[in-house]
Amino acid sequence: MKAGVSTASLYPMETEIAVRTLGEMGVRNIEIFVNDTSELEGEVREKIASCIKEYNMNVVSIHPFNSPLETLFLFSDYKRRVDTISALYKKYFEFMQYVGARIFVLHGAQKDARCSDEMYVERFMKLNESASEFGALVAQENVHYCKSGNIEFLKMLERECGAKFVLDIKQAVRAGYDPIEIAEAVGGSVIHLHVSDNRPGADCIPVGQGTYDMAKLIRALHGKGFDGAMLVELYRNGYSEFSELTESVKRLENIIEEFS
């Protein structure tokens, strides 16, 4: 297991600057939150790749900025829109191959989307087939306002297509779950963790500033075979200083030592 930070935590800093900033802070395991399609190619992509090489960084995962469009495009009855987003996500997969990332984070369809389980499974599997051509894997994140915010839906995906998951602590809390409930339900298929602490009145804060028993969750996931990355993902208004990000990483690394 390893700990790190998502560039999403530095939003709205431009992505290549966020990558460099994390590198300068000594963070070596990262998720890149892509904030614009221009970052997938050309000069910006080269700047990102240069930072990764300079600081010997490990890009664990990629998160697309256009997740809110997945209901309208990927899980639509309108074939042209499905084709459009499939072509766009292929560019993401090419970018992932270029920077060495393996996990693509999917939000999926919103709760009220007119999308059957059968359609969802079909589209999920097709997207994964496309990703596999570039050595990538699509992983479903639990998102409180999406179908994936429901544990039963996650269990269905695991059962029907062997889906892998990104467990996001704050999203679980917002959906009314203790994240351990998700770990117990589908923990054997969790390959990535988005980390934030919480306490009454604050559900997305640096590790150690809340009351959540992080060690208990990691212990539960480890017991299910989890050996992935735990990346701190905070909103910019959830912390004050960048040092709080590295302090969060250190606290996670201290927990990880229990299993080494």
Q: Where along the chain do its domains lie?
A: 2-259
Rounded to whole angstroms, the Cα distance separating 118 from 75 reads 11
pLDDT over threshold 80, residue 78: yes
Q: How far is CA 124 from CA 61, 91, 109, 136, 215, in A?
A: 17, 17, 11, 13, 32
CATH annotation of 2-259:
3.20.20.150
pLDDT over threshold 90, residue 259: no
What pLDDT, on a 0 to 100 scale, did the predictor assign at position 260? 67
| Mean pLDDT, residues 38-64 | 98
pLDDT over threshold 70, residue 140: yes
| Mean pLDDT, residues 121-127 | 98
What pLDDT, on a 0 to 100 scale, did the predictor assign at position 258? 85
198-256 pLDDT, tens per residue? 999 999 999 999 999 999 999 999 999 999 999 999 999 999 999 999 999 999 999 99
